[in-house]
Structure 1
Amino acid sequence: MTTTTVALIGANGHGRWHRRRIAEIEAAGGVRLAGLADVRPLETDPPVPAGVPVFSDHRELLARTGPDVVVICTPPHTHLPIALDAIAAGCDLLLEKPPVASLAAHHTLTASLTAAGRVCQVGFQALGSAAWRQFRDALPTLGALGGITATASWQRDDVYYARSPWAGRRSVAGRPVIDGALINPLAHAVMQALAGARAAGAGRPRQLVAERYRVRPIEVEDTAFARITFDSGLHLVVAVTLAGEDFVAGEIAARGTAGRAVLEYPTDRVLLPGDDEMRTVAGRADLLTNLVEHRTAGTPLLVPLQATADFTAVLEALTLPGVPAPHLLDDAAVLVEGPKRTIPGVNDLLRKVVETMALPSEMGVPWAAAPFTQRLPVT
């Protein structure tokens, strides 16, 4: 059997995780690493395998190595042109999240894939977990749903926002950068909740009402509250922060007339009707392995590009011209400890938002700003 050749574009930063994962799959005989590319010199952990070529230009990598599959782990605003180059070179894609910056780009990428007979898997890896499948399959047993929620409380300091020239930026050289909490670091929470709503038969997301905040002078939000309404009338409420107190890994919850289900997506723990406490569900399918199995045996993709259209619609609604910049909280609302900035009481607020489905401004939170409302583009 012919071994699938894989190349990685964007081999530093999070790309180092992909280098390790490709090495594990290669050791098991599943793929062969054809080459690596990055605009910066490669970090040496993990070491570059002997004989593997390294390029500073992804187009040279594509021309000289001719890989079957390309993993793209570059800054989000560079995804589309690199993906189109890889498709033109005859490659299937594993594209990191968020996949593209607009529905127009989503449609362009879809059309290119279709014309070339190629496929694209998107790196929302939590959608490959057995815990997600149990949560999804439990949704019809909950009765009429009263809502779906997503919450997470992380902490990111000044060093995080100095990690790259595009960190914390709204755009670079006229291109949207999409580095806000909702659509980059906590994108998995948004995607997992949207997938839950779609699995519950809610239809398409139609309206977004959002409040976005920042605790330092960046251009994007580090704290956000959003209510998304679907065709069925179902509400999805997201409450997340990167200026948190106690760590909350990431929880998706659905409540209905017959019960409640909770998924802690980063740890693959669930609480389903009949459970007394959260339990771990082992098993998470690797997205690259799944893509290779799709190529070789026709196995369905776990996260095909079309499954992320709702996410891209929300992303676009947050980045359209005219959308107000996130509200900068004043010193009275922020605790500053060296490079770390925290919103006192934010964890309690996150819980109240997901319990009541009300946004901070609707609760009369003193530092809350007026929300903005946006019709979501049709996917």
Structure 2
Amino acid sequence: MSAPAPVAVVGVHGHGASHVRAVEALAARGLARLCAVVDPRRPDDAPAPWFPTLGDLLSATQPDVRPEVVVLSTPIPTHLPLARAAMEAGLDVLLEKPTAASLSEHTAIVETAERTGRLCQVGFQSFGSHALDAVTELVADGEIGEVVGLGAVGTWVRTAGYWGRAPWAGRRRLDGRDVVDGVVTNPLAHAIATMLRVGGARTSADVAHVVVDLHRANPIEADDTSSVRVVAADGTRYGAGLTLCAPERTPARVLVLGTDGEIALEYEHDRVTLRTPRLQVEKTYGRTPLLEDLLATRADPARRLACDVRDTGAFMRVLEAVRTAPAPRAVPAACVTWHGEGDDRRPVVDDVARWCEAAARSARTFAELGVPWAR
């Protein structure tokens, strides 16, 4: 057996802590070794040698702390410089989603991966789900007839505390740099990315046209309730209705709509439901964690990464449309009901779950559907 791969985690507070646990789980199986953690704020009881910056780690002379793989779980505007520095230092990268803050930055990361020959996996965890292949097979077998479109529905809940978790949360720009932290591009980015992946749209060239309709009920810069239409280069139509202002959180779904039925993929739970006039079948699948997939691909060059940075180009076309769109429109106060107090305070937009479903199934925006708060 080969020696466990030395892995460093950059950004270990918040979501980064889950990456530390993931490395430790792989270490227990002899597949990885947590060689260092990097964060400007030193963690309590650091599980490995600590460095304040990636540059400090890369310039360290101790052989035991030198990584071969880095996990980057850092603010969106740092993704390009950190991924570029890591790959140019000869390291393979697991980069947290969204890939970058703009399409041009995504292009630069792809260029760096191709120039250096390093692997760059993006953290859309759903891409490691075996359910995606199952959906592809059901479509190929003609179980729902001809595909007429795909959709994504996300009706989630976020409180004031969520928007106050970091200076960049809910911002479109910060300190002169793009952030693009809204419902489409961060919390429900998986819905968009998975929908496009299931439909076969991977690269930027696979997307012909994107329309976004952005709204906000919270006092933030970015969107918290939005609809999206994507038309692929092959003519496939995709629609999405996404909100963080629902009455309650429900599982996010990707829909494949056919002439003789539909498939629903609850990507958070790897659950696939096939519905046709003849039957309804539900099955739950396993998934391969993306860091494990990256390590396996390092060992087998013939293997393809589950979420290669190149395969996030289609998603980045949607992010770019959000980035360059006018600022989100405020949902009229009469259409919003507020619940809770303090950090638990949250808005609920009128009939938002119904309209998100309609946007996903019709590939029409809220405005096109005549939603009262979107006119």
Change (3 A) 1:357 1:109: closer
Partner of 1:76: 76
Aligned pairs for 1:100-179 (under 5 A) are 100-140=100-140, 141=142, 142-179=144-181
Shift of 1:277: 4.5
> Which of residues 288, 313, 328 in structure 1 aligns to 2:317?
313
Cα RMSD of the aligned pairs, angstroms, is 2.0
For structure 1, the 5+ residue unaligned runs are: 370-379
Give the deviation of 1:139 after TM superposition. Answer: 2.2
Distance 2:106 2:309 in 1: 8
Distance (Å, rounded) in 1 between the aligned partners of 2:39 and 2:290: 22
Paired residue type of 2:226: A
Match of 2:354 in 1: 348
Which residue matches 2:295?
292
| Distance in 1 separating the partners of 2:188 and 2:348 | 17
1:267–1:280 CA contact under 8 A, matched in 2: no
Q: SS of the residue aligned with 1:270?
A: strand
Q: Give the aligned residue type for 1:107.
A: T
State which of 189, 206, 209 in structure 1 corresponds to 2:208.
206
Secondary structure, aligned partner of 1:243? coil
The correspondence of residues 1-379 of structure 1 with structure 2, limited to 5 A, is 1-42=2-43, 44=44, 47-49=45-47, 52-64=48-60, 65-140=65-140, 141=142, 142-198=144-200, 204-272=206-274, 276-277=279-280, 279-298=282-301, 299-320=303-324, 323-337=325-339, 338=341, 339-369=345-375
Distance 1:278 1:184 in 2: 31
Deviates more, 1:289-298 or 1:149-158: 289-298
The answer to whether the Cα contact below 8 Å between 1:166 and 1:172 also exists between their aligned partners in 2 is yes
Report the CA distance between 1:199 and its aligned residue: 6.3
When normalised by structure 1's length, the TM-score is 0.91
Offset at 1:253? 0.6
Report the more deviating stretch, 265-274 or 74-83.
265-274
Distance 2:360 2:77 in 1: 31
Paired with 1:246 and 1:5, the residues of 2 have a C-alpha distance of: 41
- Cα distance in 2 between the residues matched to 1:240 and 1:276: 29
CA 1:191/1:56 → structure 2, altered by over 3 Å: closer, same or farther?
A: same
Q: What's the CA shift for 1:345? A: 1.4
CA positional deviation for 1:209: 1.8
- Matches of 1:180 and 1:58, distance apart in 2: 27
Q: Any conservation in 2 of the 1:246–1:347 contact (CA below 8 Å)?
A: no
SS at match of 1:245: coil
Q: Which amino acid in the other structure matches residue 313 of structure 1?
A: R
The residue type paired with residue 224 of structure 2 is D
1:312-366 Cα deviation digits (max 9, x unpaired) = 111112112xx21000112101101231111121112222333333322223222
Alpha carbons 2:213, 2:227 under 8 Å: kept: yes
AA matched with 1:25: L
- AA aligned to 1:156 is R
What's the % identity of the aligned pairs?
35
Give the superposition deviation at 1:278: 5.8
Matched position secondary structure for 1:70: strand
Q: Distance in 2 between matches of 1:157 and 1:190?
A: 22
Structure 1 Cα separation of the partners of residues 225 and 102 of structure 2: 22
Q: Is the alpha carbon distance of 1:280 and 1:145 closer, same or farther for their aligned partners in structure 2, counting shifts above 3 Å?
A: closer
Give the Cα separation in 2 of the matches to 1:200 and 1:15. 26
Unaligned 5+ runs, structure 2: none
How far apart are the structure 2 equivalents of 1:352 and 1:297?
44
* CA contact 1:136–1:199 (8 Å) conserved in 2: no
Q: Secondary structure at the match of 2:250?
A: strand
**CA deviation vs aligned residue, 1:55-90 (integer Å, no higher than 9, x gap):** 111111122232100000001111000111111221
* Residue 113 to residue 354, structure 1, CA distance change in 2 (3 Å): closer
Amino acid in the other structure paired with 1:355: R
Partners of 2:225 and 2:236 in 1: CA distance: 23
- The alignment partner of 1:349 has SS state of helix
Distance in 1 (alpha carbons) for counterparts of 2:90 and 2:181: 30
Alpha-carbon distance in 2 for matches of 1:88, 1:354: 41
Look up the SS of the partner of 2:247 in the other structure: strand
